[in-house]
């Protein structure tokens, strides 16, 4: 089982992968400024209890964290210590967050982090080679127990072989969604898969994106089918357990 926990909402765009951010798109429908981070009403969700004293979220859940912001966002520095503490307290849950700000991690870790909380997985997002070469060396050097590389939205071919070390548990790939989505070439996806197979690294194709170029044909795929179509491609490698991101 899994659920979403967004302790804060809103984020500043910092790289090319942010250009058509789905959070901005969704907020725009309600005239909300996505660039202004704000604490949400769900901030304490992991530690909420029922009347009988039991936690509302039962043990064993996967909690996808901060998917409408960036967990390492500067503006959230005042809120993050309490979020870390909830993750530490709920060691019976698994938390996963993605970030484009991995260089900030060391400066904002809790005092007892050590080599990392065993129930926290961190995904470093890279959309092109420039961001891969900038973020992944820092990602590999950081004290993290569980790491995944998230190539999304994939905007070009990637050479990841230098970064596919035993410290990485999975590489996940997805195209861009939304009406302004940039094209994702299926050959880029297959190239990353080949690199993962050669490194014996788990590979997940989690989303096609809205515009997929495959064998010379541009497919326009509705949002509702992008995850399912990626699964139906049948190119995942050594993937077990949780569903698509």
C-beta atoms surrounding 243 within 10 Å? 11
The residue among 158, 230, 169 whose CA lies nearest residue 203 is: 169
Q: What is the pTM of this model?
A: 0.96
Tens of each residue's pLDDT in the chain, 245 residues: 689 999 999 999 999 999 999 999 998 988 989 999 999 999 999 999 999 999 999 999 999 999 999 999 999 999 999 999 999 999 999 999 999 999 999 999 999 999 999 999 999 999 999 999 999 999 999 999 999 999 999 999 999 999 999 999 999 999 999 999 999 999 999 999 999 999 999 999 999 999 999 999 999 999 999 999 999 999 999 997 655 55
Query: Is the peptide bond prior to 25 cis by the omega test (within 30 degrees of 0)?
Result: no
pLDDT at site 41 = 98
Give me the residue spans of the domains in the chain: 1-120, 152-245
Whether 169 and 202 have beta carbons less than 8 Å apart is answered as yes
Which helix (H) or strand (E) covers residue 191, if one does?
A: helix 186-198
């Amino acid at each position: 089982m899994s659920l979403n926990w967004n302790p804060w909402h809103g984020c500043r765009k910092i790289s090319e992968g942010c250009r058509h951010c789905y959070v901005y798109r969704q907020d725009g429908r309600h005239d909300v400024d996505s660039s202004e981070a704000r604490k949400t009403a769900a901030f304490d969700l992991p530690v909420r209890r029922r009347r009988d004293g039991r936690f509302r979220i039962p043990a064993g859940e996967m909690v996808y964290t901060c998917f409408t912001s960036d967990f390492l966002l500067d503006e959230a520095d005042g809120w993050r210590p309490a979020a870390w503490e909830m993750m530490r307290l709920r060691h019976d849950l698994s938390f996963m967050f993605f970030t484009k700000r991995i260089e900030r991690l060391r400066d904002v870790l809790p005092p007892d982090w050590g080599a990392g909380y065993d129930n926290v997985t961190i995904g470093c997002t890279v959309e092109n080679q420039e961001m891969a070469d900038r973020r992944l060396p820092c990602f590999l050097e950081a004290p993290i127990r569980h790491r995944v590389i998230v190539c999304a939205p994939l905007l070009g071919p990637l050479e990841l072989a230098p970064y596919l070390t035993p410290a990485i548990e999975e590489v996940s790939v997805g195209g861009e969604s939304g009406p302004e989505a940039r094209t994702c070439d299926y050959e880029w996806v297959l190239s990353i898969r080949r690199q993962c197979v050669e490194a014996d690294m788990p590979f997940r194709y989690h989303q096609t994106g809205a515009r997929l170029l495959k064998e010379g044909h541009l497919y326009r795929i509705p949002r509702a089918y992008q995850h399912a179509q990626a699964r139906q491609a049948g190119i995942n490698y050594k993937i077990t357990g949780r569903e698509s991101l």
